[in-house]
Structure 1
């Protein structure tokens, strides 16, 4: 190397290597920060560690091969990516399936399952593949652009795109992260400030470097200035820009089809009839920490034909978002339950050993692959129990319109029962419990009753005589009828399908499967009610109770105190000379009619006064407000307005002299007003206060002179 001794060349080479190492470190950390943006919606630190490992491993491969032939780096990077992805899949897999099958399933379903996963996303093989792959790809491209080809600015592009992809994946599901943006901008500024030399000037490739060692001062100053500007822009302008944003970012999960239900899961109430006919059928084994009702489905929407669940199911990990502290646990092994809906207690907090999706509205669980014999899982729950004591004095929770919607075409028998409940009980809780007591006392259980919960079927169940097959049914009929009538009473209701599971180890049979209604109260939440009849108790015919209510209910005349001897208003003997209805109406009227006529006349009389007051205020403003030139112009406007009232119209294009000629027809003197108007118009600063006083003094005599020439209607009104 000419112009430099060996010591200088070694120092220059060392400085260059330090500089290129700093650029590599900055870009690697930029890829790490970009990957961490997406990790904010993941549960735990597993994804953060996987993303960090991908960024460092990919950059290390590219950095090690920076001086080798360019075709070696892509092959080595792809091999490293495959090995790293396989390791990440093995690390996050539960081990129930072979690693090869798990890897294929994760790669095929990575994108849709990542987008449909609930927040926080559980790090599983199919939810870590996408962020790990994108981080590795960004780090590889960044290293190639910045280190091999010396284009640091272009090398900042891949991690920036990764940063944007992370923001898109997070969507509106995490708080703003300005610290990430600040750190990212600082790293980019440092990388650009200590940017690497182009390939032809690389000391570590024995390239010739001519000239003296360049000064480091511009680079340092550039780093300081750039970093300061970027940090200030993010810290100061960021919050201001955020306040200008009025909409939330789009959520990509809205565009991905959620897991779908099977036919038996769309309407799980139809399974009640089958379970009632085969009560000995074993459905699943359960080992629970306490007695509980394990739910299979929560149904809130009713269209008169079927009960359905509100909301979609979203893929979740082992942690169910929004749950409280777990106080209940159960180990479940499926025997012959079938379907995709997973039995679990209310408010599940976590599920292990089974991939699940969660309906955040109802907190019901679903497994995308369906339940099969031998499927086992563990579920923890912040068990929500009934709180009748708290509901006794609570008001119904009417915040959700879905749970209070009344379907048109409700059978008459339901309306009669609702009227009976309303007339018999007062508080919401008493009506809810009274409705359950009414159904349990007046109807009977029949395991052979045909399935059906549409309005005609419920009308047949409630209103048809026993001899025709009515007034008996399964829990499907009791729960559905209760929920519909409760809405007629004004109580928000829903239907739940589930199982009564005792504490300890047991086998749950079809006899334990049941549907029950729940009522929402403000405070206690959803409270379960039992409308099922007690075993061995003969039901009371519902028509006896309802007919007795009709007999005891007073007629409108009796309720008003008239009784049976109330006067007959159709009796001719009561008719008088005048119109009876008019007299009654005049007695009941709050304000006599003549008062309205008087008010209308008073308003009409005030119109001339209002016009005169308006005209006086306008004249006062014109003659007394403003500069002398403005007051002269106001005086001239008043003169022209008075002339117009007298019938002399002055065109808008006429000058002061032409207008004065037309005003001569009124035989009223305007004095020097035209001259003052011209002076004020062409030389406003030349007129004085005395000129303005002289001009305004001419208005009143002019008005008095022409007053007799004004039409009397105008003179009266204005």
Structure 2
């Protein structure tokens, strides 16, 4: 009689335990989706995206969990409706309100994928950059809930969050530090979900015991478990070694496969706009309301091939915040009138832009708007205004960037003459930079009617042709381009900047304020602007007068050695001495026999191989015994490559460790785990232990002995 009374509490207890397990699994899978979304949020600015993906995960799971015992078509339908509503809310939340809502939604949905991949890091959370992660998070949470909660397949339910985690890692690429805490948290949540996994449908109590009105049999569930386990073990066995090798490699960046925003023809060579501006100085380009006087840059050009000046680097889509800038100390509100093109005027260095979609060149910090500038376009830009440089008078030139010191082939002779004059007249780098600016401003004239052109023939005509033929006059295009080339000839890194001189307050910037100017890089002060333009109303001095005077004052080589000019005549009878002068000189040199000099030279040559061997031994000792474990592994690798080169197997600089190992296999010498240790030293130096370093350095000597017979005897003797 008591059996029914006892069975009812047992059923209630069993139902309670089951529901606790289901709730735990749902919570773990929801948090797994949040963690996967947080991985991608590491490259976004602020916490907005993290909150959006967390809300998407909880919203999708809430709908699926509430409808877990309803017909299967109902949950996906309501989930799709919830996704649409949530995406709409995310777009409204991240929109700046400048465009109509319908236009913003269409633009975000159409351009979501390319703009997410081309957005500059840190990515600004705007409608077209949040749509993809929010959509994927919602989809992963919905599928995970259906698999794990409705059908009781918890392992299968872990697959969507795992794929979302992988997508987040792919989006981040090498642009963020390693996130081991995310991986640990993800694995712990997955393990917890599997540990308290929901009971299979046939063991569900009461109203939770049916799926679409019927309880499935135990046999398919058992077969599914066996098949899943088998597939999992096979995947681990096959993919495990490959995954282990990937741990120490740098991930690829998907942004490399997306074409960055492109410049128009008018922006590819902005120097040609100078001549047009000079001819129409009253043309209104844009209105500006600025907080201080500043030079607003349009383009920075560092590469010169003898024909045109061009900018280095690509433009990358950015949000309202530009990375790498300091604290904003300058602001400007700009309204375009007739400027045109895609390049955006801004003072250096821009820190943020609002009301205008932009891309930035991280190398030069110049701005571009993909849609181009049109009349009426307005925006606000904040800049970390570069202060006046200090200590430039004693600073050394910054030669770290080869692009800023590369010279075009065969510059005109007049440039060589001016460079020799600057080197002869001035001593310090700053004096040469300022002296070159003074030389151009004092010897050449400004002519707004001068034709455009800054290739080498045009600059040679500007600098060297007489005034009567149209030379020695030009616009800031010729002055800036000539200065930059000659500066490189005297050892100064230089570039050309195109921009505008904008005063403080509200004003209309005209074409007369457009100008090109050169800049020189100094170690410490950075890029310093120089002005080679002539002063108004000052007549120029013909450059040939100064250059010819320098040639007259410069002594010839014979005079510098004392063999010319008014040297004394040693054939004068008054200077003759008793006896043979040459004989006395020969007797003075007879103190050291000639054969001693030959013997010393031979001994010196004999010591060269010994010196080379000693140098090689010291270098090997330094590489293998000093430094951190990672540095010792790198030193061992360098020694192996050096020994291989002696044997005739040269490894290209661009080859990675695996490719180098394939080439080294031709020597039939064992290098053991050295390639793996090299990758670890390069990408995870902190994980390399002393034991790893000892193992790597211990491979060098056997490798050298093995390939010694393959080294040519002459090289073996001499080195």
Q: Paired residue for 1:263, among 265, 268, 272?
A: 265
Q: Paired residue for 1:94, among 90, 93, 96?
A: 96
Corresponding residue number in structure 1 for 2:151: 149
1:455-511 deviation digits (Å, cap 9, x = unpaired): 001001000110111100000000000000000000000000000010111111111
In the alignment, the residues of structure 1 paired with residue 381 and residue 564 of structure 2 have an alpha-carbon distance, to the nearest angstrom, of 65
Matched, 1:550 2:547: no
1:601 deviates by 11
1:335 deviates by 0.9
Corresponding residue number in structure 2 for 1:447: 448
Q: Paired residue for 1:592, among 584, 594, 597?
A: 597
Corresponding residue number in structure 2 for 1:180: 182
In the alignment, the residues of structure 2 paired with residue 32 and residue 257 of structure 1 have an alpha-carbon distance, to the nearest angstrom, of 31
Decide which moves more: 59-68 or 34-43.
59-68
Closer, same or farther in 2 for the Cα pair 1:206/1:73, shift >3 Å? closer
Please state whether the residue corresponding to 1:130 is helix, strand or coil: helix
Closer, same or farther in 2 for the Cα pair 1:589/1:170, shift >3 Å? farther
Please state whether the residue corresponding to 1:392 is helix, strand or coil: helix
Q: What is the root-mean-square deviation of aligned Cα atoms in Å?
A: 3.0
Q: Is the 8 A contact 1:26 1:188 kept in 2?
A: yes
In the alignment, the residues of structure 2 paired with residue 357 and residue 588 of structure 1 have an alpha-carbon distance, to the nearest angstrom, of 76
1:462-481 aligned within 5 A? 462-481=463-482
1:95 deviates by 1.2
In the alignment, the residues of structure 2 paired with residue 129 and residue 337 of structure 1 have an alpha-carbon distance, to the nearest angstrom, of 34
In the alignment, the residues of structure 2 paired with residue 245 and residue 417 of structure 1 have an alpha-carbon distance, to the nearest angstrom, of 57
Corresponding residue number in structure 2 for 1:254: 256
Q: Paired residue for 2:328, among 315, 326, 334?
A: 326
In the alignment, the residues of structure 2 paired with residue 166 and residue 377 of structure 1 have an alpha-carbon distance, to the nearest angstrom, of 33
Corresponding residue number in structure 2 for 1:522: 523
1:385-404 deviation digits (Å, cap 9, x = unpaired): 331x4210000000000000
Please state whether the residue corresponding to 1:315 is helix, strand or coil: strand
Corresponding residue number in structure 1 for 2:110: 108
1:107-256 aligned within 5 A? 107-205=109-207, 207=209, 247-256=249-258
Closer, same or farther in 2 for the Cα pair 1:487/1:562, shift >3 Å? same
In the alignment, the residues of structure 2 paired with residue 204 and residue 111 of structure 1 have an alpha-carbon distance, to the nearest angstrom, of 46
Q: Paired residue for 1:59, among 55, 58, 61?
A: 61
Please state whether the residue corresponding to 2:81 is helix, strand or coil: helix
In the alignment, the residues of structure 2 paired with residue 372 and residue 596 of structure 1 have an alpha-carbon distance, to the nearest angstrom, of 76
Matched, 1:393 2:398: no
Corresponding residue number in structure 2 for 1:81: 83
Corresponding residue number in structure 1 for 2:538: 537
1:548-591 deviation digits (Å, cap 9, x = unpaired): 1001100011112223245999xxxx99999x99x99x999997
Decide which moves more: 73-82 or 346-355.
73-82
1:246 deviates by 5.2
Q: Paired residue for 2:24, among 16, 22, 39?
A: 22
Gaps of 5+ in 1: 209-240, 604-718
1:521-670 aligned within 5 A? 521-565=522-566, 592-596=597-601
1:8 deviates by 1.5
1:2-61 deviation digits (Å, cap 9, x = unpaired): 896212111211111111011001100000000000001100111011101111111111
In the alignment, the residues of structure 2 paired with residue 496 and residue 136 of structure 1 have an alpha-carbon distance, to the nearest angstrom, of 48
Corresponding residue number in structure 2 for 1:635: none
In the alignment, the residues of structure 2 paired with residue 599 and residue 252 of structure 1 have an alpha-carbon distance, to the nearest angstrom, of 58
Q: Is the 8 A contact 1:329 1:379 kept in 2?
A: yes
In the alignment, the residues of structure 2 paired with residue 557 and residue 587 of structure 1 have an alpha-carbon distance, to the nearest angstrom, of 30
1:314-463 aligned within 5 A? 314-387=316-389, 389-463=390-464
Q: Is the 8 A contact 1:557 1:566 kept in 2?
A: no
In the alignment, the residues of structure 2 paired with residue 185 and residue 590 of structure 1 have an alpha-carbon distance, to the nearest angstrom, of 82
Corresponding residue number in structure 1 for 2:573: none
Please state whether the residue corresponding to 2:128 is helix, strand or coil: helix
In the alignment, the residues of structure 2 paired with residue 419 and residue 528 of structure 1 have an alpha-carbon distance, to the nearest angstrom, of 22
Q: Is the 8 A contact 1:386 1:528 kept in 2?
A: no
Closer, same or farther in 2 for the Cα pair 1:481/1:23, shift >3 Å? same
In the alignment, the residues of structure 2 paired with residue 262 and residue 602 of structure 1 have an alpha-carbon distance, to the nearest angstrom, of 63
1:448 deviates by 0.5
In the alignment, the residues of structure 2 paired with residue 531 and residue 517 of structure 1 have an alpha-carbon distance, to the nearest angstrom, of 8
In the alignment, the residues of structure 2 paired with residue 54 and residue 591 of structure 1 have an alpha-carbon distance, to the nearest angstrom, of 90
Please state whether the residue corresponding to 1:592 is helix, strand or coil: helix
In the alignment, the residues of structure 2 paired with residue 366 and residue 513 of structure 1 have an alpha-carbon distance, to the nearest angstrom, of 18
Please state whether the residue corresponding to 1:5 is helix, strand or coil: helix
1:651-689 deviation digits (Å, cap 9, x = unpaired): xxxxxxxxxxxxxxxxxxxxxxxxxxxxxxxxxxxxxxx
Please state whether the residue corresponding to 1:485 is helix, strand or coil: helix
Q: Is the 8 A contact 1:17 1:204 kept in 2?
A: no
In the alignment, the residues of structure 2 paired with residue 326 and residue 191 of structure 1 have an alpha-carbon distance, to the nearest angstrom, of 48
1:105 deviates by 1.2
In the alignment, the residues of structure 2 paired with residue 274 and residue 599 of structure 1 have an alpha-carbon distance, to the nearest angstrom, of 67
| Greater radius of gyration (CA) | 1
1:431-459 deviation digits (Å, cap 9, x = unpaired): 00000000000000000000000000100
In the alignment, the residues of structure 1 paired with residue 569 and residue 163 of structure 2 have an alpha-carbon distance, to the nearest angstrom, of 87
1:667-686 aligned within 5 A? none
Corresponding residue number in structure 2 for 1:221: none
Q: Paired residue for 1:293, among 292, 295, 304?
A: 295
Closer, same or farther in 2 for the Cα pair 1:589/1:138, shift >3 Å? farther
Please state whether the residue corresponding to 1:429 is helix, strand or coil: helix
Q: Is the 8 A contact 1:329 1:378 kept in 2?
A: yes
1:502-529 deviation digits (Å, cap 9, x = unpaired): 0111111111000000000000000000
1:587-618 deviation digits (Å, cap 9, x = unpaired): 99997114456889999xxxxxxxxxxxxxxx
Corresponding residue number in structure 1 for 2:664: none
Q: Is the 8 A contact 2:69 2:208 kept in 1?
A: no
Corresponding residue number in structure 2 for 1:680: none
Please state whether the residue corresponding to 1:479 is helix, strand or coil: helix
In the alignment, the residues of structure 2 paired with residue 170 and residue 600 of structure 1 have an alpha-carbon distance, to the nearest angstrom, of 58
1:89-133 deviation digits (Å, cap 9, x = unpaired): 111111111111111111111111111111110001111011111
In the alignment, the residues of structure 1 paired with residue 375 and residue 73 of structure 2 have an alpha-carbon distance, to the nearest angstrom, of 52
In the alignment, the residues of structure 2 paired with residue 111 and residue 554 of structure 1 have an alpha-carbon distance, to the nearest angstrom, of 69
TM-score (norm 1): 0.75
Corresponding pairs, count: 566
In the alignment, the residues of structure 2 paired with residue 95 and residue 532 of structure 1 have an alpha-carbon distance, to the nearest angstrom, of 45
Gaps of 5+ in 2: 211-243, 571-575, 609-719
Please state whether the residue corresponding to 1:60 is helix, strand or coil: helix
Closer, same or farther in 2 for the Cα pair 1:374/1:18, shift >3 Å? same
In the alignment, the residues of structure 1 paired with residue 262 and residue 607 of structure 2 have an alpha-carbon distance, to the nearest angstrom, of 72
1:73 deviates by 2.0
Q: Is the 8 A contact 1:421 1:434 kept in 2?
A: yes
1:377-431 deviation digits (Å, cap 9, x = unpaired): 11111101331x4210000000000000011110000000000000000000000
In the alignment, the residues of structure 1 paired with residue 605 and residue 356 of structure 2 have an alpha-carbon distance, to the nearest angstrom, of 79
